[in-house]
Amino acid sequence: MVSLKNDEEFQKIRIIPARVIQQTVGNLCLQANTLLRKDVIIALNKALAKEKNQRARICLKQILDNAQIARSEKLAICQDTGLPSVFIEIGSNVHVDGNLYKAVSSGVMEGYRRGYFRDSVVIDPLERATPASSIPLVHTEITGGRRLHIIVLPKGFGCENKTRLKMFLPTASKEEIIAFIIETVSCAGADACPPYIVGVGIGGTADYACFIAKKALLRPLNHRNSDSVLANLEDTLLKKINRLGIGPMGLGGKTTALAVKIEKAATHIAGLPVCVNISCHALRSAEADI
């Protein structure tokens, strides 16, 4: 029998107790829901500096005031504390001691209890009994190394409801894709708390396009896409969206979106899935390394 103890690989294994993950997730829930992301605040301030429409200016100031009050009073930025998505990257040399999924669920429950957040998740989508907790959706991914990275993204459904997926023909032009994305924002109109952050997933399968569209919302708003084609597409889309005139809270102005973020993935020769996931201005996420 091989003695694992002497195995060099084994020495590299890092053990992380589930309890630590639970605590971290709890703290991230509190952080995400009460401290508006810095990049979002920067984008809002930039928009305010450029905005001329009086109603839009009042709205942008209210949004910034709201973030300030949430921070100082430890209140939820928005009462819809959402359906929390939790993205976990687990290094292949990490061993979680305990049940990872249970730890994440308990962490979310703890965070939401401590923050007095609203439980908005019904266990059964058809029976719809009154929510008693916030059950997260957990996505795990194995990466290299000894690191465990956790991101909590509590997204409200005012904007999640505006998500659209279209399976384009593989021969579709960029213009058709642009038109679909603009139309999706236009359909969201005043309903989903503009100014928006528009996440787009292009390629993969139907489900994967939706997954990366949501993940796109995690990219820092002020970082330029390293793919120059996508970066240009993001610029074009943002300009066009801000010409729609929807404006903050739908009351007019040139600030309809703060950013467009696109992710792409390899896809099949017969198709071209495109998913648009819109986030409201209250784009909340927090992350930590363990």
Partner 1 sequence: MVKELTTPTSKKSLEKLRAGEQVLLSGFIYTARDQAHKRLYQMILRGEKLPLVLEGQAIYYCGPTKTPKGKIIGSCGPTTSGRMDDFTPLLLRQGLAVMIGKGNRSEFVRKAIKEYKAVYLVAPAGCGALLSTFVKEVSPIAFKDLGPEAIYRLKVEKMPLWVAIDSYAGTIFPKLNNRPKNNEEATD
Q: Under the rule (CB under 6 A), what is the footprint of ligand SF4?
A: 78, 80, 82, 156, 158-159, 192-193, 280, 282
Q: How far is the CB of 67 from partner 1 (least distance, A)?
A: 8
CB of 174 to partner 1, least distance (A): 26
Gyration radius of the chain's alpha carbons: 20
User: Residue 42 corresponds to which amino acid?
Assistant: I
Q: How far apart are CA 168 and CA 3, in angstroms?
A: 55
Residue 118 binds: one of partner 1, ligand SF4, none (C-beta under 5 to 8 A by kind): partner 1
> With respect to partner 1, which residue has the nearer C-beta, 132 or 142?
132
Query: Of 192 and 198, which CB lies nearer to ligand SF4 in the complex structure?
Result: 192
66 binds, among partner 1, ligand SF4, none (CB under 5 to 8 A by kind): partner 1
Q: Measured from the CB of residue 158, what is the shortest distance to ligand SF4 in angstroms?
A: 3
Binding residues for partner 1, rule: CB under 8 A, are 55, 58-59, 62-63, 65-67, 69-70, 73-81, 115-120, 130-131, 158, 161, 189-193, 245, 249-252, 280-282
Question: Cβ of residue 227: shortest distance to partner 1, in angstroms?
Answer: 30
Residue 280: closest CA among 212, 181, 211, 191 = 191
Distance in Å, CB of 30 to ligand SF4, minimum: 17
Pick what 98 binds: ligand SF4, partner 1, none; C-beta below 5 to 8 Å, kind-dependent: none
Scored b (16 or more CB within 10 A) or e, 97-110 reads: eeebeebbbbbbbb
**How far is 259 from 245, CA to CA, in rounded Å?**
15
Report what 253 binds from ligand SF4, partner 1, none; CB cut-off 5-8 Å by kind: none
Rounded Cα gap, residues 86 and 90, in angstroms: 13
Label the pairing between strands 164-168 and 272-279.
Answer: antiparallel
DSSP-derived letter for residue 105 is H
Q: How far is the CB of 153 from partner 1 (least distance, A)?
A: 16
Q: Residue 215 binds which entry of partner 1, ligand SF4, none, with Cβ cut-offs from 5 to 8 Å by kind?
A: none
Strand-strand pairing, 14-17 and 137-143: unpaired
Taking the least distance from each CB to partner 1, the nearer of 181 and 202 is 181
Amino acid at 115: G
Q: Which is nearer to partner 1, 221 or 274 (CB)?
A: 221
192 vs 290, which CB is nearer to ligand SF4? 192
Rounded Cα distance, 167 and 164, in Å: 10
Residue 150: beta bridge partners?
A: 88, 288
Q: Show the tokens assigned to 284.
A: 């909340």
